[in-house]
Amino acid sequence: MSSTLAVSSRDELGGHVSGGEWRRLLAVVLPVVAGLLLVSTLLDVGLGAGRLVVVDGVPQALSGDLPAGLKAVASVAFWVVGLVGGAWAVTRAAGPREALWEGVKSLPSYGVGLIAVGGGAFLAVWAAAGIGRGDAGVVLVLGVLLTVALAAARLLLNGINRSVGAHRPAEVSRISEWTGAGPMPAWGEAALFLVGGAGVPVLAAYGWARAGLPGSEVVLLAVALVLQVRLATRKHARAAGSGRTRVWPGAAALAAAVVVAAGVVLTNPYGAPVVRTHGAGPAGPMAVAWPAGQHPVIVTNGGVRFCDDDLCRDFTDVNGGPATVEGYGAATVGADGTVVKTAVRGGPATGGPFVHLGRCVRAGCSQAWLPVRASAAEKLDLEVARVEAAGAAAPDGALWFFVAVPVAGGEHGQYRFSLIRCADPACAAPQRHQVGTVARTPQDGYPDGSRARLTIGADGRPEASFWLGYSILRYGCEPVTCANPKQSAPDAGPPGAAWAVAGDRTVVLFGGELRDGETTASVAGSSSAGHAAIAVAGSSVYVAAAQPGDGPAGFRFSVGESVPHWRQTVWRCRDRHCDSVPMDAYDNGERSQLLAVSEDGRVLVVRYDRIALLETPF
């Protein structure tokens, strides 16, 4: 042994700590942290494409992968080596090589001990959960958890005492006097170790992650090792060391590991999808589109965000026209980014109903009121159904509106459909074209106020759609004149289906099955169509939905119902085949989302709490 025993002791954590002690401790902790970072990076590379996603610069392993479990085992192993090695270096004034070797040699015994303690803790909590009921059961489980944690901390402290104290049999009696390796540490020592050695590092790692910085697990290990070694050895006397411990090799190793990890993330050799997110999701998102050559446009309940970047961190917010509320208002983003908002207001007593319309561009919004009827002589049957409307902007600057009005006729009344063209935003001289009448289907389960949609093709041709019963009624006509009207009625599906139209295509998703005209494809894991979104881009159909996940790796404890975990996922379907790409993850209830695809194949998913951008096209 390269050290001699000292006669002084430390009684307080906050007491004087010599520079030599800090150098010896850092000389052990830094290479341990570097080793964990390097091993984690190599395991990430080993995951390969399809089992890893890089979210905000941090690789995330998908649930159920063996390498993900190996990363957890590696973290525990490096923690044991750093804890025992750091305690050995501080108390024995040993160099990093000797201290790290002592930590490595302790792995088998600590591994067995951790398994035993973990098994006992599980049985204790399981028994308490089975015995207790209601609030008393919660208190019992929490009490058992606290007791188990304190007992585990006492055992760990005692193990460290024995590791650094009773290493050499010839010195056991002498070392026991100055290390306290004989008696068990007090409960107060265990409590202090838990609070300072576990609670503080967790808070530090949490704050690091909340700041959006990568590597929170590395920060957790580094802070935990420094605090735990100090707490575990605070009452130990120190050996009188000789020579100056060099810290720079450990610092160099950590710097090299950081460079390797950053290089792997930047070069992405595993071909993992790259996702960027930010937490400033819009409140009440209603529509999104990604016009060619522009940044995305997001319509919310109260306004329109014209994004200044692809992730929409910065944007120009404009307001005006009707509020866009589910069931009471609609919005469509045109090919040039022009937003048309519609809502039906008023009644026959005031000359209505009217389509309250808003046309929004980056410079602002204008609004106008369009009468649903050409004259007061037209009779409506508003007792059986509501007037529904949708609008869109054409490439020539005109505004088109699709209006469905309930009229008398048949057993349950009828809908009369019109396409109305306004050459200017004020809609001073609307050109009305009746395109069809159909018998109304009562109580089909589809929510009123959301049945009508309208899109304008690149050639200026209006394409209207209306959900009725188990069909989607399609109406179209020529640009400008609306000559040669046509109609079709493809099958839709149950009322909870997600759907989209593009040109002559009608796409419906329900129960994990995507139907694109006569072609069907399986979209596994997207059965909750009520929260899903669909977008048609060229020959492909994109679907955004959330899949159940296992949550973040590590120990988790919950009382009552378990918290559901979700992984945002995007599918691209072509012909009869669908490929999926994972994105970010979230907890608690499943969120609804909106979906937009750029001309180069990148995908933007908008939720009320977060916006996520898939940077790597399919």
How many CA atoms are closer than 13 Å to the CA of 566, on its beta-carbon side? 19
In sequence order, what DSSP letters do the residues of 421-482 get, joined into one string? EESSTT-SS-EEEEEEEEEPPTT-SPPTTS-EEEEE-TTS-EEEEEEETTEEEEEE--TTT-
Query: Chain-centre distance of CA 98, in angstroms?
Result: 44
Rounded distance between C-alpha atoms, residue 615 and residue 602, angstroms:
6
Q: Which residues of 266-276 are buried (b: 16+ CB within 10 A; e: fewer)?
A: eebebebbbbb
Partners of 297 in the β-ladder: 289, 306
Q: Which secondary-structure segment (H or E) carries 584? A: strand 577-587
Strand segments (E) across 313-430: 315-318, 330-333, 339-345, 354-361, 364-371, 388-393, 399-407, 414-422
- DSSP count for the chain of H helices, then E strands: 10, 30
What pLDDT sits at residue 49? 56
Expressed in percent and rounded to 5, the helix, strand and coil fractions of the chain are: 35, 30, 40
What pLDDT sits at residue 173? 40
What pLDDT sits at residue 302? 86
Dihedral angle sign, alpha carbons of residues 26, 27, 28, 32: positive
Could you report the per-residue pLDDT of 89-105, keeping only the tens digit for each? 888 888 899 989 998 99
What pLDDT sits at residue 618? 81
Per-residue 3-state assignment (H helix, E strand, C coil) for 285-320? EEEEECCCCCCCEEEECCCEEEECCCCCCCEEEECC
Output phi, psi for 378, to 5 deg.
-75, 125
What pLDDT sits at residue 395? 93
| Per-residue CA distances from 23 to 12, 18, 86, 167 (Å) | 19, 9, 11, 23
Rounded distance between C-alpha atoms, residue 233 and residue 83, angstroms:
11
Domain ranges, ordered by start, for the chain: 19-165+181-267
Positions in the chain short of pLDDT 70: 1-19, 47-50, 63-68, 132-134, 166-183, 212, 237-238, 240-243, 525-529, 550-561
- For 163, the 3-state DSSP assignment is helix
What angle in degrees, to the nearest 10, is found between the helix axes of 134-165 and 216-232?
70
What pLDDT sits at residue 11? 41
Nearest alpha carbon to residue 572 among 503, 518, 507 = 507
* Alpha helices, DSSP H, located in 48-171: 66-92, 96-105, 107-131, 134-165
What pLDDT sits at residue 13? 45
Output phi, psi for 410, to 5 deg.
75, -175
Rounded distance between C-alpha atoms, residue 166 and residue 354, angstroms:
89
Is the backbone of residue 174 left (phi > 0), alpha (psi -120 to 50) or beta?
A: alpha
Question: Tokens for 536?
Answer: 């048609």
What pLDDT sits at residue 551? 61
Rounded distance between C-alpha atoms, residue 30 and residue 105, angstroms:
19
| Contact call for residues 553 and 71 (beta carbons, < 8 A) | yes
Rounded distance between C-alpha atoms, residue 375 and residue 383, angstroms:
20
What pLDDT sits at residue 279? 87
